Amino acid sequence: MNSVIRTYWPQYKWSNVFTMISNMKQQVRGYSEPFRGKLVVITGATAGVGYYTVRKYAAMGARIIMINRNPEKSERVCRYITEQYGTPIEYYIADLSVLADVQRVGQYLLSLGKTIDVLIHNAGVHHKSRKETPEGLEVNFVIHYLAPLIITRMLIPKYQQDRTGRIIFVNSEAYRFAVWGLDVDDLQWKRRRYVGIKAYGAGKLAQILSMHILARELAPYNVTVAAMHPGMVRTESGKDNGRLYQWYKRNIIDALSDSPEVSAEALYYLGASPEAAHTNDVFFHLTIGEELTPPARDLEAAETLWKRTNKLLHKRGITL
């Protein structure tokens, strides 16, 4: 740990933090042209940022495929979108904390006969205590990092054929809580004391590090990869945590937060606007490109994480 601190500490700049604070006050860039006939795939789309993003793209004429866990909520969203906008919408049920389901999603999307114009990895969780998936992996790590990575990698043959696409990770400024980077020897938080916000930040940092490698791999096929902080908005994240957290979220966090419509406007700009068409391997605070912290721009750390991830998945019969 001391060597990591010595590596990153000199690279930290207060100006980076001040810029982030300034970006919170900036106006979201908008795009008003329709996206008629384009296909948008979004995970975690029954509430919060995902739900409002579906509404925005549907209002602009896009065809929507949602990847959700809950069939009843998915049906309600489909009915609403159909009644309000009359645009094609469907859903695919999968639990993105389960690797078998993640692979199912990848296979389903790979089999689509239509180009995926925008893929938005939006599904997320926030837990105060450590929870495991059926495969014995930490849930936060799987949903924020492994699931988007596996799905994207499985789609590479499709992107090679279609030669177009935009991929957006709905990330978070909370990646900054992984101040000294990832502990690649304890990615599952088995040896350290689990702290919800730190584990959440680590999952988001891992996602950003994977963005660097995916952006490089997909660039030859005219596919861009970006990550974005959706702003301080009201979501259902952490809804399964304890009563104290629920009170704090309802009365403090949500009271100070904006509507997820702000995030939806930003995601439409990043997915549909010509200005963002060739922006690759960039972290956005809503629609403003932002310099990453030292651990998040460490390409050597990204390669190390990639190798560790390959080993972890290989043991479970998955090859990236």
Which pLDDT score, from 0 to 100, does residue 2 have? 60
Residues 247 and 188 sit within 8 Å (Cβ to Cβ): no
Which pLDDT score, from 0 to 100, does residue 233 have? 61
Task: Provide, rounded to the nearest whole percent, the portion of the chain with pLDDT above 70.
Answer: 91
**Is pLDDT of 168 > 80?**
yes
Q: What is the pLDDT of residues 74-85, one digit of tens each?
A: 999 999 999 999
Which pLDDT score, from 0 to 100, does residue 40 have? 98
Which pLDDT score, from 0 to 100, does residue 235 have? 54
Instruction: Enter the pTM of the model.
Output: 0.92
Mean pLDDT across 11-17: 92
Which pLDDT score, from 0 to 100, does residue 259 have? 81
Residue 262 CB neighbour total at 10 angstroms: 18
**Is pLDDT of 5 > 80?**
no
Mean pLDDT across 178-199: 95
Which pLDDT score, from 0 to 100, does residue 310 have? 97
**Is pLDDT of 247 > 60?**
no
Which pLDDT score, from 0 to 100, does residue 7 have? 86
Mean pLDDT across 174-192: 96
**Is pLDDT of 245 > 50?**
no
**Is pLDDT of 244 > 70?**
no
Pinpoint the alpha helices (H) of the chain.
2-8, 14-23, 48-59, 71-85, 99-110, 139-141, 147-154, 156-162, 196-218, 243-248, 261-272, 299-314
**Is pLDDT of 263 > 80?**
yes
Which pLDDT score, from 0 to 100, does residue 320 have? 86
Task: Quote the CATH superfamily of domain 28-313.
Answer: NAD(P)-binding Rossmann-like Domain (3.40.50.720)
Residues 280 and 215 sit within 8 Å (Cβ to Cβ): yes
Q: Who's near 76: CB < 8 A, 6+ residues apart?
A: 46
Which pLDDT score, from 0 to 100, does residue 232 have? 78
Domain boundaries along the sequence of the chain:
28-313
What is the CB-side half-sphere exposure of residue 190 using CA atoms within 13 A?
Answer: 9
Mean pLDDT across 118-128: 95
Confidence of residue 258 (pLDDT cuts 50, 70, 90): low
Distances (CA, A) of 109 to 75, 85, 154, 159, 219: 20, 24, 9, 11, 20
The DSSP secondary structure of 196-224, one letter per residue, reads HHHHHHHHHHHHHHHHHHHHHHHGGGTEE
**Is pLDDT of 252 > 70?**
no
Mean pLDDT across 280-284: 98
